[in-house]
Structure 1
Amino acid sequence: MSAQKILMITGDFTEDYETMVPFQALLAMGYEVDAVCPGKKAGESVATCIHDFEGDQTYTEKRGHNFTLNATFADINPADYDALVIPGGRAPEYLRLDGAVLEAVSHFMSENKPVAAICHGAQILTAAKVIEGRTVSAYPACRPEVELAGATYADIAVDAAVTDGNLVTAPAWPAHPAWIAQFHKVLSSAQQGSLAA
């Protein structure tokens, strides 16, 4: 079978680990991954931020790496992709205002294609109105949005993930091992044609 093609939609001040780690891990596992950002072209980069948990009431934020995009958002057709990844960070806050982003997310969800979102990535899912009736994890500060969108908020450990059909979500980057493993399982089921609708 040919390698599955995965689309990653990201943007400036995306969370560093939540972008770099899944991008590299999925490539290492043999998937094709196109990372795109609205308004930017292949070869350009997005700034990342590092969110850390250092004992304060909320996460701290520091400047991260520059992450190089390898595809152009304006040129992509969601129908050409088998799955979608939505990293967290601050990017989802403004990406959810982009109609083309929401249309792309709606395509993946309506076609029952595998979708993985982590941390604040749930803000894009809620804006796209695609999680009603689903169980969704996200950074705890996103819980009100998840519930207002008609989903059940999965109150799980920070290093855990939850799968609901085609959708794999997690609260933050400490969940990468669980999140990526569950997403890989959903991708494998989809390739075998056994992903439940």
Structure 2
Amino acid sequence: MANILIIAGDFVEDYELMVPFQALQMVGHSVTVVCPDKVAGQTIKTAIHDFEGDQTYTEKPGHLFALNGNFAGANASDFDALLLPGGRAPEYLRLNPAVIALVADFSAQDKPIAAICHGAQLLTAADVVRGKKVSAYPACAPEVKQAGAEYCDIEVTAAITDGKLVTAPAWPAHPAWLAQFNKLLN
């Protein structure tokens, strides 16, 4: 089975971290979650984003998530695939050159990458979506387009695969997104 790296940070979307972390392990994959400037055993705060009829999502406190890996020393060559959850974390993680270099390295090694919601912000910052079909939370559409990708405005329960890249708009797409990602992993 695959050895998967997840890059997360404080206020990552709770469902977009916890559900893939548990579901991918349930089907036999090894999953390591890291955060810059933190080590295994330390925690990150998560946030829950709900769609309640407002102009944008609402945000509620999530859980503390205990990291099981160290960002320092994480190399794409040590993993088979990368997963990028959304929430607010990608907004500031994309400012970290080591995060961007790691995302770019996974792409350069042609390894499967799954990104959901605002996780696309890490893909665009790493300049790895040019010419690809990419879904993301609709607020990320302008930067997806500016990065040279075709933004795919799909149902919130759908996902899209383009080569080894699997993307989706938000956590309601988990069944489709994780199924497509798992197919690439097998």
Instruction: Give the alignment's TM-score, normalised by structure 2.
Output: 0.99
The one-character-per-residue Cα deviations of 1:8-56 (angstroms, maximum 9, x if unpaired) are 0000000000000000000101000110000000000100000000000
Give the counterpart of 1:24 among 14, 22, 30.
22
Alpha-carbon deviation of 1:111? 1.2
Alpha-carbon deviation of 1:127? 0.4
Give the counterpart of 1:177 among 155, 175, 178.
175
Task: Tell me the equivalent position of 1:57.
Answer: 55
Say yes or no: does 1:77 pair with 2:97: no
Partner Cα separation in structure 2 for residue 128 and residue 103 of structure 1: 7
Say yes or no: does 1:100 pair with 2:98: yes
Which residue type is aligned with residue 90 of structure 1?
R
Task: Tell me the equivalent position of 1:42.
Answer: 40
Task: Tell me the equivalent position of 1:159.
Answer: 157
* Count of residues paired in the alignment: 186
Mapping of 1:85-124 within 5 angstroms? 85-124=83-122
Alpha-carbon deviation of 1:75? 2.7
The one-character-per-residue Cα deviations of 1:55-77 (angstroms, maximum 9, x if unpaired) are 00000001100111000101322
Instruction: Give the alignment's TM-score, normalised by structure 1.
Output: 0.93
Identity of aligned residues (%): 66
Task: Tell me the equivalent position of 1:67.
Answer: 65
Say yes or no: does 1:168 pair with 2:166: yes
Unaligned runs of 5+ in 1: 189-197
Which residue type is aligned with residue 61 of structure 2?
R
Partner Cα separation in structure 1 for residue 16 and residue 124 of structure 2: 19
Moved over 2 A (4+): none
Which residue type is aligned with residue 183 of structure 1?
F
Partner Cα separation in structure 1 for residue 143 and residue 56 of structure 2: 17
Task: Tell me the equivalent position of 1:149.
Answer: 147
Task: Tell me the equivalent position of 1:126.
Answer: 124
Secondary structure of the residue aligned to 1:34 is strand
Which residue type is aligned with residue 98 of structure 1?
N
Unaligned runs of 5+ in 2: none
Partner Cα separation in structure 2 for residue 64 and residue 146 of structure 1: 27
The one-character-per-residue Cα deviations of 1:91-150 (angstroms, maximum 9, x if unpaired) are 000000011111111111111100000000000000001100000000000000000000
Partner Cα separation in structure 2 for residue 169 and residue 187 of structure 1: 15
Secondary structure of the residue aligned to 1:75 is coil
